[in-house]
Amino acid sequence: CKAQTKRAKRFLEKREPKLNENIKNAMLIKGGNANATVTQVLKDVEKYYKTF
């Protein structure tokens, strides 16, 4: 379908596939009942992302 207004055209352009995707963020929070395995995984993930 073709956009008939500039506003619709801008909207459709934003929804098109991109060559480089936008940066995505994640927040990892440890709960009070997390066991040692989960805690270690979160520490490993933190170390991995701090290198970048």
Specify the residue for token string 């970048």: 52
In the chain, domain spans: 25-52
Residue 52 has pLDDT above 80, yes or no: no
**pTM summary value:** 0.46
CB atoms within 10 A of CB 38: 12
Q: Are 32 and 40 in contact (CB under 8 A)?
A: no
Specify the residue for token string 């055209």: 9
Best CA proximity match to 50, nearest among 35, 31, 28, 32? 28
Which pLDDT score, from 0 to 100, does residue 49 have?
Answer: 80
Specify the residue for token string 């989960």: 38
Confidence of residue 43 (pLDDT cuts 50, 70, 90): very high
